[in-house]
Amino acid sequence: MRIGFIGLGAMGLPMAGHLVAAGHQVSVASRGRDPIEKAVALGAQERPPADMAAEAEIVVLCVPSSPQVEEVLDAMVANLGAGTIVVDCSTIDPEVERRCHRRVEEAGGRYLDAPISGGTIGAERGTLTVMVGGEAEVLEAARPALEPFSGLIVHVGGPGMGQVVKLCNNVVYAAQLQGMAEATAMAVKAGVDPAQLLEVLLHSTGDCVAVRTRLPVPGVLPDSPATNGWRPGFMVDLMAKDLDLALTHAAKSGVPLAATAVARQVLAAAATAGYGREDCSAVAKVVFGLAGIG
């Protein structure tokens, strides 16, 4: 298939690479030269978004924010080919996403919101979870552009529902990170061996994805951000953006998010301390600092 891919960040570049490896004719666009050159080296072609809209059967977006999704559509919509499918793998405001659905459909195209979860490791391994909002028949037509980088694709409802489910996922994950940071700080300050803490948590009710992958003590988990200079699988700044979206959506819906509000405050403290581009588990450095743990 002819597939356009816009947004070659930490997630987007390996996703585009999987599409090339699957045998698709892939064109790419991104703000930075380095990822474009890496994608071209893998076998992709560089094309501007306006040309992709006219030439590609499917165009995948993977950009950081609602305004950037709308900016990309500004560049594409006038040239959009009849029946072209736009798949937005970004995480953005559900109401903005519904507006994007309408805009593309009015231009003669088709649209899916398909936010992803799994971090950079999932993108590199091709095991991402994709939460899809839109029409079922559009998803079936778009599967060849999703399956190469996915481990699980779930159709969760109509326009915007993929974004709602993604925000729900990150609300849970943010609570895991906050709870893990507090529990680990309490254990370390009491003199508990972090490796023994991990062993207990993995076999108890405290087990969760955050514990298994991001225990915030260097050397305990070899692949964790804490052991690898807090290299981001998902940055503090991006988690903060997603929690802002969740808090706004929940306020409109009349749903209280007390734990999420606390997690968002700690993310703000982490960003202020200079950890914004580090992995989101770096919130533990704030908790450790407040606890007087060096």
DSSP 217: S
Q: Of 133, 157, 181, which marks where a domain is finished?
A: 157
Please tell me whether residues 284 and 237 are part of one structural domain: yes
Domain count for the chain:
2
Distance CA 82, CA 30 (A): 24
Task: Give the model's pLDDT for residue 194.
Answer: 98
Please tell me whether residues 171 and 220 are part of one structural domain: yes
Domain holding 274: CATH number?
Answer: 1.10.1040.10
Q: Of 113, 141, 157, which marks where a domain is finished?
A: 157
Please tell me whether residues 205 and 139 are part of one structural domain: no
Please tell me whether residues 180 and 271 are part of one structural domain: yes
Domain span at 181: 164-290
Catalytic residue among 166, 189, 241, 285: 166
Q: Of 157, 180, 204, which marks where a domain is finished?
A: 157
Please tell me whether residues 133 and 109 are part of one structural domain: yes
Mean pLDDT across 197-205: 98
Q: For the chain, where are the E strands, in sequence order? A: 2-6, 25-29, 45-46, 58-61, 85-88, 110-113, 116-117, 128-133, 150-157
Please tell me whether residues 179 and 137 are part of one structural domain: no
Q: Does the active-site annotation cover 241?
A: no
What pLDDT band is residue 294 in, cutting at 50, 70 and 90?
confident
Please tell me whether residues 256 and 181 are part of one structural domain: yes
pLDDT reading at 44 higher than 90: yes
Q: pLDDT digits over 135-180, tens only?
A: 999 999 999 999 999 999 999 999 999 999 999 999 999 999 999 9
Please tell me whether residues 138 and 174 are part of one structural domain: no
Please tell me whether residues 121 and 192 are part of one structural domain: no
The bridge status of strand 25-29 relative to strand 85-88 is: unpaired
Domain holding 112: CATH number?
Answer: 3.40.50.720
